[in-house]
Structure 1
Amino acid sequence: MENAVLFDNNGYSLHAELRRNARQVVVFFPNKSETGAATERAAETAFGARFGLNIVTVRSDNADWFLGAAFDECLEALEHMCGWFTHVTFVGTGMGAYGAIKAATRIAADHVIAMSPVAALDPDALPADNRFAKDFKQLGELDAVTDHKAQAYSVLYDSADCEHRHVQILNLPDARTAYYKASGTAQRIQRCLLETGLLDRVLLRLIARRRVADLMGQFRRAKRDTPGYLLTMFSANLWRRPDVSSHMLDEMRRLQILPNRHQRMQTRLNRVLERRAGQKQAA
């Protein structure tokens, strides 16, 4: 196996773990939480080691959403590297999904796997989604991605959350795109897949260009007992449906998930119930 830094300039770098006689490569683009000069990206390299895959990780010192000339220079080096292989897969989550799709406007990858993709930062463009308002103020809007050169796209997203609007904005080619919905994950589909133990199986199946509808069916059932899902459902329903939040908290207690948070969650729930009761009396 050969470990190498294939490119390193202006805050972007390409780190490769290449194995002999393997003609395919998987390129991972960083999520916002995976940026920074000290980020090792150990999960991706361990994934490659477990399954004998060539792995390249795109690394960024800053969460700049792949904007500007520095990323374009990195893409030029990535395009050259992709010529070494007969099969190229791009993978990303959140910001990384946007990076993977953007890279495929220049590089004709065989497959792009996008989990919880982001298409816009402007909160006015996506009502009820102000997660990236600070980034929008600092960086402006993302570059539009309109020229989709990859042979195939697989998109995993929460159809009941704001994620479905991001997917619509991306305007991926329907004939070449497979959509896999997982409601209740709320921007955490990769984390929930990891918590259910299905992430490796889903990625391997997709990398092999095989569909994962059966695995996503398993995931929809299994995720109900994961910390990510229970926490998301607790917070999302706290004011609108406190009975649902109460049930989620009961499930966390039953399963002994994050017991150190139970008291704080109960306090939040009690405050909401008291406010609702006060509003009802005032009316």
Structure 2
Amino acid sequence: MSHTAHIPSHRKPRQRASKTALRAGVAGGFLSTIAVAGAAGPAQAEPVTQTIEMPTIASGFSAAAAASAEATQQLALDMEKQADQDAAAQKAAKTAKKAHAEAVRKDEAKKKAEAAAKAKAEEEAKERAERASRSTERTTLSASTGTSGSSSSGSSASAPSSSSNVSGSAASIVAFAKAQVGDAYVSGGTGPNAWDCSGLVQAAYRTAGIDLPRVSQAQSTYGTQVSLDNLQPGDILYWGGAGSAYHVAIYVGGGQFVGAQNSSTGTVQRSMDYDRPTGAVRVL
């Protein structure tokens, strides 16, 4: 191959290189233009960028608000729960205080009841002792019923018979009446520890086997009317008219009587001068 024959082949690459350079220049200019446009772009797109970021801020604010609301609700629930607990504690304290007061009241009532029972027992024991003493007196009086009393056969109120000279049924009646001295007076009472006037007279005569009427009006006419100057132990004394008497008692000798007088004095033994009777009847 000749030397000249290789020249075209040698130049052709130069032309290619020139084109390549041209193309590179065009491409570089284009890219430069794009770079310039890109550099100018952010300044023009800044409002768009801010607009795009707003939903993100609003979303974060909404989440924070929701969290705050939830925290507030939880705080309200906690406060309500604490209030319920405080109310329950106060109620429990009041209940405990009330229960304590009730226990104290019951304890005091129990102590009072025990004291009352003790006092009643002591009173009953005292009463039994008194009744035993009266029974002893009755026994002593009954033992003396065999003693003669010739001087007492014509006794009067000015020289009354002594109860120690009483015999037979009269002694039993007098002894029973005296044994009840100190008992209470209760309207309608028939014993054994409380009497009214006619209930005591009826019970005294029952010890002698004599059944008297229950009321004082009938008792004041049961038997023979006798003068107050010619009384014998066991005679029935009455106050008021015969058949309309309002009070009765038993003459026990020595110018004295035993009767269930009233609620203030109870059953007593008194002188006839204390309350002079209207009349008397003899049943024996």
State the TM-score, normalizing by the size of structure 1: 0.21
Q: Kindly indicate whether structure 1 or structure 2 has the higher relative contact order, using CA contacts under 8 Å at least 6 residues apart.
A: 2
Instruction: Point out the structure with the larger strand share.
Output: 1
Question: Which structure is larger by alpha-carbon Rg, 1 or 2?
Answer: 2
In the superposition, the TM-score normalised over structure 2's length comes to: 0.21
Structure with greater helix share of residues = 2
